[in-house]
Structure formats: C-alpha cells, structure tokens
Amino acid sequence: MDSTTGNAGYDALVVVSFGGPEGPEDVMPFLENVVRGRGVPRERLLEVADHYQRFGGVSPINAQCRQLIEAIEAEPAVGLPVYWGNRNWHPFLEDTVRRMKDDGVRRAAAFVTSAYSSYSSCRQYLDDIARARAAVPGAPEIVKLRHHYDHPGFVAAMADHTREALGRLPGGVRDAARLVFTAHSIPLTMARTAGPAGGAYEAQLRRTAELIVAEAAPAGRGTEREWDLVWQSRSGPPQVPWLEPDVCDHLEALHARGVGAVVLVPIGFMSDHMEVVYDLDVEAAAAADKLGMALTRAATAGVHPRFVAMIGELLAEPEPAACPATCCPRPRRDQGRGPGAEHGQE
C-alpha cells in the first residue's frame, strides 16, 4: 500500500507550533521572543512570566506537541517522517527545516497547531515558514495544510470532551448547564482583517462552536443547549481594543442572569497551553468558585484519536489553495492608538 504520498505528494510532515519554556531560566528569553516588536507592556510580560513560574517555568505545550507527534507517527494513515519546529522556542523551525533538507526532504506538508484564520493564528505561521526556508539554501517546499476548525475529526474530539466535562458536573445542575466556548482574544484590528474577506477568526470559531453544540448536546430534550463564544488571555496595551467579553467577566454576567453551571470549552487551543492551565483552570475556576457556580473545563483536542486521524485525512486531500497574499495582514503596531502615531517600522 502506498499511503506515503497522498494526493499532494508529500514526503514528510512538519508540525509547526508556538513553542513554550521548559524551565525557569527559559521563561524570560521565551517571552522576549514572543513579544519582540509587538508593543506588549512590560507589566503584562512580568505578570505572564509569573504564571509560567507558578508551573516551575514549564509550559505544557511542548510535552503536548511531543505526545501529538508520537500519536501521528503511530497513525497508519500518515505514513510519513514527522518533524517538529516552533516559532518561539526549541526546536526552532529554522533548525528543523535545515534538518529536513539534510535528510533529503523535498516537499513537506505543515500541520500548524492552530485551526483558524488571523494574523496570529495563520499568517504569522506562514511568515515563520517563509523565513525559515529563506535561511536554508535548498530548503524543501512546505505546504501548509488547510484550517481544520470545521473538520469532523476536530469537532468529534471536542464534542466528546464536552460531553465528558458535562458528565463531571453535579447531576442536579447538568441539564441546565451552559456551554461557554473560549478562544484567545485578539486586537479588533486583527479580527477585522482576518481571512480573505475579514472577520474570519470570529466566524470560524462560531462555526466550530455550532458544530460541537449540534454533536455534543443534540436537541433531545426539546431545545438546543445554550452557549456563548467568549475570549481569554487578552494581551497588549490597555488602550488598544481587543475582542470582548473576557471569560471571567462573562461568568459574572451569566451568574447575574441566574446561570448556575457552566462547561468551558477551549476551542481556540489545540492542546493544553499555559492559557488553558492558568487562565482557565486557575483564574476562571477561581471566578466561578467565588460566584458559587459549578464549572468544569472540557479537555483540549490533544491526542484524541479522531483528532489524530484528522491529520491523516488532511494529508490525503488535494493541495490546499494558498491563502491570498492580502488576507490576515500584520496589524500595524500603532493601530488603535489614534492618529499621529504612524511612524513605527512594522
């Protein structure tokens, strides 16, 4: 059986991810890589550094990537050598591309651990790939697989995890529980220019949520389960507007409306990241506790068998159309700060 080429003739798969620190001394250099040229205030950076330090300076993201790669390597539908390269921490994508070239890879598919359109979640990864290839003479061609937000494998994994989290709520409040889907907030300027026609980040997340609601909580008791899409992990200077409401504010608003139980469903993250284990499992959990709300958090897609199988299915699809050069542009750093600030080098 020749399952090694698929329709698009790839000879390798590279998992492209964000990267995270793996010890206390990694935290500041990692954060400096993340925010270089981004205008994130120093106070915000120190606050986030403290979140990492509470976990011994170790983000869960790299271990999750290693587990995913192990699972992909064991997936018969993949049948390709699997590489891994990150934007912000070891193994850096450029080093990986060099290794791929040395191994004789000619045409690789890239699975980016982000399912949606926007500068941060799509274009920036395309730029990372282009920069890494430009630094390596004779680098392989690298084709980014399509956005998988609506793929039945991703949806099935998250629906399964949503049902499981509903099952962890006390029986008495389970039926009335509300599903609260979360994703990383982004600046409004970035949200407006996401995708070929703008607005794609939010529209895709909403679609994912709808698909999960339909699968996890089908109308059986007569009505569809109530749900919302809200935002978490806002960064940037306070005067720049980002997508709202924040998940913790939203829990308060729901409580004021008499909602007694919530399942958080982190569809914006493909695996456990610091944003999930701190911003949701520590901060949002504390907010719910204070309000006396029952709260559980659905597991991220991680290595759910349907999610892993999805990667094999994506590899078998014809080569995806490249994103138009104009979609998901890098927002200017001065956007949202009013007129007169238009001389940054970004």
Ligand X SMILES: CC1=C(CCC(=O)O)c2cc3nc(cc4[nH]c(cc5[nH]c(cc1n2)c(C)c5CCC(=O)O)c(CCC(=O)O)c4C)C(CCC(=O)O)=C3C
Pairing of strands 141-144, 107-112: parallel
* Per-residue tokens: 58: 């170790």
Q: Which of 129, 153, 154 is nearest to 16 (CA)?
A: 129
Pick from 12, 274, 284, 314 the residue near ligand X by CB under 6 A. 274
Number of residues this chain uses to bind ligand X (CB under 6 A):
27
- Kindly state whether residue 48 participates in binding ligand X, applying the rule CB under 6 A: yes
- Kindly state whether residue 61 participates in binding ligand X, applying the rule CB under 6 A: yes
- Kindly state whether residue 300 participates in binding ligand X, applying the rule CB under 6 A: no
Q: Which of 275, 249, 271 is nearest to 180 (CA)?
A: 249
- Kindly state whether residue 177 participates in binding ligand X, applying the rule CB under 6 A: no
Q: Which residue has the tokens 């204070």?
A: 290
Q: Which residue has the tokens 């395309």?
A: 126
Minimum CB–partner distance for residue 169 and ligand X (Å):
26
Minimum CB–partner distance for residue 333 and ligand X (Å):
9
- Kindly state whether residue 184 participates in binding ligand X, applying the rule CB under 6 A: yes
- Kindly state whether residue 31 participates in binding ligand X, applying the rule CB under 6 A: yes
To the question of whether residue 125 is assigned a binding role by annotation, the answer is yes
Q: What's the gap between Cα 4 and its chain centre?
A: 27
DSSP H/E element including 290:
helix 285-291
Name beta bridge partners: 16. 85, 112
Span interacting with ligand X, options 55-63, 148-156, 209-217, 296-304, rule CB under 6 A: 55-63
To the question of whether residue 52 is assigned a binding role by annotation, the answer is no
Angle of CA points 307, 65, 56, to nearest 5°: 130
- Kindly state whether residue 18 participates in binding ligand X, applying the rule CB under 6 A: yes
* Per-residue tokens: 286: 């504390």
Pick from 14, 15, 27, 34 the residue near ligand X by CB under 6 A. 34
- Kindly state whether residue 236 participates in binding ligand X, applying the rule CB under 6 A: yes
Cis geometry, peptide bond prior to residue 91 (ω within 30 degrees of 0) = yes
Coil, strand or helix at 341: coil
To the question of whether residue 275 is assigned a binding role by annotation, the answer is yes
Pick from 86, 96, 114, 117 the residue near ligand X by CB under 6 A. 114
Annotated binding site for Fe-coproporphyrin III: 59, 125
List of residues contacting ligand X (CB under 6 A): 18, 20, 31, 34-35, 38, 40, 44-45, 48, 59-61, 113-114, 118, 120-121, 184, 186, 233, 235-236, 268, 273-275
